Structure 1
Amino acid sequence: MLHYAGLAVLFVVALAVPFVFGTLSILGSMAVFLLLLSWSISWRRQGGDTLAGVRDRSAWLFWGMAAVIAILIPIIAGTSYFLAVMVTFLIYLSWNVMWGLVLGTAGLQSFATVAVAGISAYVAGYLSIELGKTGNLSCVGGGERILGIPVFEWWVAIPVAVVVGLIVGFIISLPAIRLRGIYFALLTIGLVELARAYVVQDKCNFGGGQGLYGASSFIPESIAGSLAGYQIAYVAAAGLAVLALIIYWRVNYGRLGLLLRTARESEPVAEVLGTDVVRARLWVFLISSAVLGGAGGFYIAYYGSISPSFFNFSTVLFLFAMIMIGGINSPRGILVGTMLLMYVDKRFVDVDPPEARYVFIGLLLFVVTIVARDGLIAIPDQIRRRRGARGTDAEGDPPEDVGAIEQEAHMPPGSRPEPR
């Protein structure tokens, strides 16, 4: 009872923080609260994580509180600026959840998350401008219309982006059959830079250095930039994040996830048992790519624009730091890490020089990697494993009397004592 009372007090304190330190601070206070909540759940739960994590009561408690926070945040700190930050956070969360599925579940060292989402967003934006309405492209006319209605509005752009993401993911996955580890990672990093270089050079189709703008948006022009517009965007982005989490659970705790966890323990044994590890990994990669494509389509449908800075390597490293600091193998860790670093990034955005906040994030990533290899979320499990290993060493078999063994070995067979 005291345990839940303490959590309730902590939750109230976290809610009160923005009234003292400003609305943005609620992002940091809620990240700390969710981290402490997850730690308390891990300490109280007997044993490790269950495979059916979505059925675990502790998982329901954590995600139930996360849902309550998601509902309360726009009420407590419902300014236009803060809701804009929250929409960006939810988009990042959907990307990071899919990236965690590739890195953690599939075990593929891929950095193609930004490339898949960005290419999908660019293609959807290009088609929206060309077939929907006039944008900034010099090679595009006034748009195609049927009965006066643009034929490529945002509700068409997002499904098309899903298909584009699936195609891009399939192309990237082909080398994964032959390349492993660092080689596949380098390939995907090169793909991100290749995508950036191409859109910068193609001024006719992709706007060059200024990017695309004027794509169809799901925010009506009459309320664009207003509080009502950001409220609509917040609800839509929350739906995107929930969809990404549901897909993560279905894959990670389903048959594919079980096969890949078995392969992670011993891939040769899994192959002997008839598991096609390569095919399972490719399926996970394709599923995540389709979701990333949809998230890219959501990005262009929300902002109505996109620029080559989308592909900056600093963006890749920023997202990577989020999932590594939180915990790459846990959706709870990915949520906490994304929320925590989003707060750090926005809190210190005015620091001079601006790059100083990236130095702080880099130091935080270094410390967490050294202290908690599986991220902040897994610290209780890591401590429990160390205590268990220490207890096993302390309770090991007592040392045998070497002299007695040697004496028994030299005794005649008939004179040896019978075993009891």
Structure 2
Amino acid sequence: MAVREAPVDLPGLQPSRGQPFGIYVHVPFCITRCGYCDFNTYTPAELGGVNPDGWLQALHTELQLAAARLDAPTVNTVFVGGGTPSLLGGERLATLLNMLREHFVLAPDAEITTEANPESTWPEFFDAIRAAGYTRVSLGMQSVAPRVLATLDRVHSPGRSAAAAREAMAAGFEHVSLDLIYGTPGESDDDVARSVDAALDSGVDHVSAYALVVEDGTALARRVRQGELSAPDDDVLAHRYELLDAQLSGAGMTWYEVSNWSRPGGECRHNLGYWDGGQWWGAGPGAHGYVGTTRWWNVKHPNTYAEMLAPGTQATLPVAGFEQLDADTLHTEDVLLKIRLRQGLPLTSLGEAERERAETVVAEGLLEPAGDRLVLTARGRLLADAVVRTLLG
């Protein structure tokens, strides 16, 4: 697998026919930095130059360059993530979507998602983005327990996430998701149960739930290192996952990926593209893309990004590096990602030795056959990474 790590131009790109194609847009702006977050985001104090309008202008240039590099793929999904896309406001998000339509062909049934933080949304915001053509909203809830929100440095009130979800649905959004985090130091089983209840009571059709990970370089990591907070315990995380799964399943939501549950039709098609072999263009500072057998990543800082795409310059794609994925890497990622899906991993994806190892995993109760596929059991979902390691040998 060849890796290039300097600002470079991409090799020829040819999307694979018959696979879904998406566009991911990274919005790098946040008002404050949550203590657990290691995403490529910047607060106003950390930005010396570019503002949302300058970023949007640079993004427009990148999308124009991207369209010129691709053979006019039909875009099935769009995902605007971050960061805090809702900080852009409804008018800028509408402009962003119009820029995509200017340079790409969006499928008539395209799923168009934006993430949003509850504290930067209001009814008129949801009305505006729904009218612009967005079809799905993903809101960060994390928890309804005040002490958990405080530990995570979340600034919204405990009830604001569910209220924002209801506002989105009142604006006409059929697909609304709430994201939860479990395993925060000081959290109790009851905190988790109440958070799930609040998400379900809001009426959303999708819930994501992620175990807290202490990432190096974050404020949370420093607090754990200094002994102020305890690190998440693996057994506790497994127990909380089981609680979440039982509660969501009991309310009629079905898991379709290890960390995601939905009602019928509520699955996030864009994320399914990541897990099931789809391809996408990643636009914006630090965004990653994957087309053909090429994966690349953009320069991280918004100021550098804007400089590379500035008007009056010989604009170039803001690529920091890329890698060409060989057959072994593609196979590893195929197993790693597809095993996480409820639809399971096709047996045809495994070689003879891997199928023999799969029989051992089935005997251990971590996988179960489902026709010509292998699907994680409830216990297997807790040990998905170990299952992959065993299969690959």
Q: Which has the higher contact order (CA 8 A, sep 6+)?
A: 1
- TM more than 0.5: no
Q: TM-score range by the shorter chain?
A: under 0.3
Report the structure, 1 or 2, having the larger helix content: 1
Report the structure, 1 or 2, having the larger strand content: 2
Say which one has the larger Rg: 1
TM superposition score normalised by structure 2: 0.27
TM superposition score normalised by structure 1: 0.26
